[in-house]
Structure 1
Amino acid sequence: MSITLVTGASSGIGLAVARLAATRGDHVVLVARDRESLDVAASGCARLGAASTMLLPLDVGDDDAVRDGIGAVLDRHGQLDTVIHCAGVVALGRTESLPPEIFEGVLRTNLLGSVNVARQVVPVLRRRGSGTLVLVGSALGHITAPSMSPYVISKWGVRALAYQLRLENRDRPDVAIVYVAPAGVDTPIYRHAASVIGHEGRPPPPVSSPERTARQILRRVDRGRGRPQLSLAGEVIRLGHALPLLHDRVVAPILGFLLTDLTRPVDPHPGNVLTSMRGENAMRGGRGNAALGVVRNLAVRITRRGRGTATSSDPEPPRTSP
């Protein structure tokens, strides 16, 4: 039975991966910041058939905590087979408009958290001579997108980290560094995002489910390889960025419109960037119907234009430049 550690295991993709690993009879180690959320997630994994569950309530941005957590896993199980790093947070806003602590918080969790996990896990896998580390990036780690500055920067960094780790571990062919870049997935990450743009965010269409994404990730683990993009949409987004003029004039405005939920206005808030959402165990974010989301955004935009109440923070609907 495999020893599988999952970060971000209390919600979204991480929770879906942990539950799927449980159905395979793995020993599942669940990592997230909030103990209450982990308790609920672990109970679900136990019901699904996990050989055992172990909880590590810690912040992946804290290198000492990650080191101690990995040490506790080795003390209990003696080894690690697979680590799937899903933990991540989002902040919505331009580079200069986000508070420094929010901007840094996203980088700390998404990028430095990935580095911390890799620094503690890779030596364990190398000593054993085998095992898999999965770094979950994003299609937004291959492009740029309006109002997603720290997230985009951090996910570009995760992609660079994955390629660097592959280079550094070529002398251990049975140590697999797997990088995946999901596109739009219906998780709570956008609902929990910090925001200074006046609205909540939403995943870009077409939107996949966390369960489907989890299946794709574990297939990559079984194969030890695979293309980073998990969908055709991810490939299209990536290729669009390869043509800068097309991306800046066409793709980016479309993304800015699709990544914002105009039907959910909010005051500026830190979301879950600095602290966890206690007791929040949703796998999905309630943003799965992408077409309906686009229609609602258009309706809000048209209504505001008719009333003359559109604000500068509202993203423009997709249009092309002449």
Structure 2
Amino acid sequence: MSSRVVVLTGASSGIGRAAAVAFAARGDRLVLAARAKDDLDETAAACGNDPLVVPTDITRREDLDRLVAQAVAAYGRVDVWVDSAAVMAYGKFEDLPPEVFDRMIGTDLLGSANVARTALRQFRAQGHGTLIGVSSLLAHVTVPYISAYVTAKWGQRGLFRTLQHETRDAPDIHVCTVAPGSVDTPIYTSAANYAGFVGRPPPPVDSAERIAARVVRLADKPRPSASVGATNRLIELGFTLFPPVYDALVTPLMRRGGLSRQEIAGTDGNVFGARPRTEGGPGRWGRLPVGLAVAAVALAAGASVKRLLPHK
């Protein structure tokens, strides 16, 4: 295996941290970026190969200019750039403070655009490079109570698809996305919340390490997109082919699966700045056995359908 230079924005936790550890195990040289230096230092210690740590806010283009300059100064180039930086907010659209909604779009969509612009400029200058954006199943379907996140991810998907068209003139530059379903990361408990209950990933839930392994495979063999999740395709199929059924079920299923029973007062979470993260959360489900998780979803769906049917 040849050693690559890999920049990771969003490396402080979750998928970004797991990807950093996976790239380090492969022998790649890493540049770790996120808002919180303490969290980045923990990721660097987990990697164990003396990565370059550069605190960075992707909503600030000058931060990204400094990040790429330090990466090139240290290693001479950037071969792979993985962007998993994102924040989340729960609550009906009408209940979200406008500044929270706007900041989320600024981070999850415009921040992703800032990363892409910076990475592609460097790739064009050196003649090669692979950009991997961590997208989401929610870039393909809609669910209630997380309108800002869904809006940003749909926009990010459109942006990266367009970039794939616009880089066809450069065969050694690749733009990829990976779309996870539910993943066990701190984003749910770190989120802004105006829904009244702490968020959680609905079943089946994958580990961050599983998504990270797919990210490394995309870096090894780039392709436009990859989906990771036992039920992703089934959910997309329902959204596309059976919209009346999907629309009837998605809200009650989100209430059961996407929100815990742990109450929470209104908070802006880590939307405006880094805060201590909580690993795990209330009522988590794992991926295995997948059949049991799918059965739980099916039972909830059945109960919802029963309520929708007219009573005799």
What is the TM-score with the length of structure 2 in the denominator? Answer: 0.89
Which residue matches 2:8?
A: 6
* 1:253–1:319 contact (8 Å) kept in structure 2: no
Gap regions ≥5 residues in structure 1: 299-316
* 1:6–1:30 contact (8 Å) kept in structure 2: yes
Q: Which secondary structure does the structure 2 equivalent of 1:57 belong to?
A: coil
Question: Distance between the aligned counterparts of 2:42 and 2:193, measured in 1?
Answer: 28
Which residue matches 1:16?
A: 18
Q: Deviations over 1:55-82 (max 9, x none)?
A: 1111111112112211121122110000
Which residue matches 1:33?
A: 35
* 1:240–1:251 contact (8 Å) kept in structure 2: no
CA RMSD of aligned residues (A): 2.2
1:281 CA displacement? 8.0
- What letter matches 1:25 in structure 2? G
Which residue matches 1:94?
A: 92
Q: Does 1:160 align with 2:158?
A: yes
Question: Distance between the aligned counterparts of 2:44 and 2:138, measured in 1?
Answer: 30
Question: Distance between the aligned counterparts of 2:278 and 2:158, measured in 1?
Answer: 30
Question: Distance between the aligned counterparts of 1:190 and 1:260, measured in 2?
Answer: 9
Q: Does 1:120 align with 2:138?
A: no
| Aligned residue pair count | 295
- What letter matches 1:26 in structure 2? D
Question: Distance between the aligned counterparts of 1:235 and 1:60, measured in 2?
Answer: 31
Which residue matches 2:249?
A: 250
Q: Which secondary structure does the structure 1 equivalent of 2:130 belong to?
A: strand
Q: Deviations over 1:178-235 (max 9, x none)?
A: 1111000010100111111111111121100011111011112211016431123111
Q: Which moved more, 1:176-185 or 1:234-243?
A: 234-243
Listed as ranges, the matches of 1:1-322 within 5 Å are 1-46=3-48, 50=49, 52-225=50-223, 227-243=225-241, 244-262=243-261, 264-278=262-276, 280=277, 282=279, 287-289=284-286, 318-319=304-305, 321-322=308-309
- What letter matches 1:93 in structure 2? G
Question: Distance between the aligned counterparts of 2:278 and 2:6, measured in 1?
Answer: 20
Question: Distance between the aligned counterparts of 1:281 and 1:165, measured in 2?
Answer: 35
Question: Distance between the aligned counterparts of 2:126 and 2:206, measured in 1?
Answer: 35
Gap regions ≥5 residues in structure 2: none
1:132 CA displacement? 0.5
Q: Deviations over 1:38-67 (max 9, x none)?
A: 111111112xxx3x4111111111112112
Question: Distance between the aligned counterparts of 1:81 and 1:36, measured in 2?
Answer: 26
Structure 1 segments, 4+ long, off by >4 Å, are none
1:174 CA displacement? 1.5
Question: Distance between the aligned counterparts of 1:223 and 1:117, measured in 2?
Answer: 21
- What letter matches 1:2 in structure 2? R
Assess, with a 3 A threshold, how the Cα gap between structure 1 residues 285 and 8 changes in structure 2: closer, same or farther: farther
Question: Distance between the aligned counterparts of 1:267 and 1:137, measured in 2?
Answer: 29
Q: Deviations over 1:101-134 (max 9, x none)?
A: 1111211111011000001001211222221100
- What letter matches 1:23 in structure 2? A
* 2:194–2:267 contact (8 Å) kept in structure 1: yes
Question: Distance between the aligned counterparts of 1:274 and 1:318, measured in 2?
Answer: 36
Q: Which secondary structure does the structure 1 equivalent of 2:93 belong to?
A: coil
- What letter matches 1:166 in structure 2? Q
* 1:189–1:285 contact (8 Å) kept in structure 2: no
Identity, in percent, stands at 37
Q: Which secondary structure does the structure 2 equivalent of 1:9 belong to?
A: coil
Assess, with a 3 A threshold, how the Cα gap between structure 1 residues 281 and 215 changes in structure 2: closer, same or farther: farther
* 1:191–1:200 contact (8 Å) kept in structure 2: yes
Assess, with a 3 A threshold, how the Cα gap between structure 1 residues 285 and 123 changes in structure 2: closer, same or farther: farther
What is the TM-score with the length of structure 1 in the denominator? Answer: 0.86
* 2:182–2:229 contact (8 Å) kept in structure 1: no
Assess, with a 3 A threshold, how the Cα gap between structure 1 residues 97 and 281 changes in structure 2: closer, same or farther: closer
Which residue matches 1:305?
A: none
- What letter matches 2:42 in structure 1? V
1:252 CA displacement? 4.2
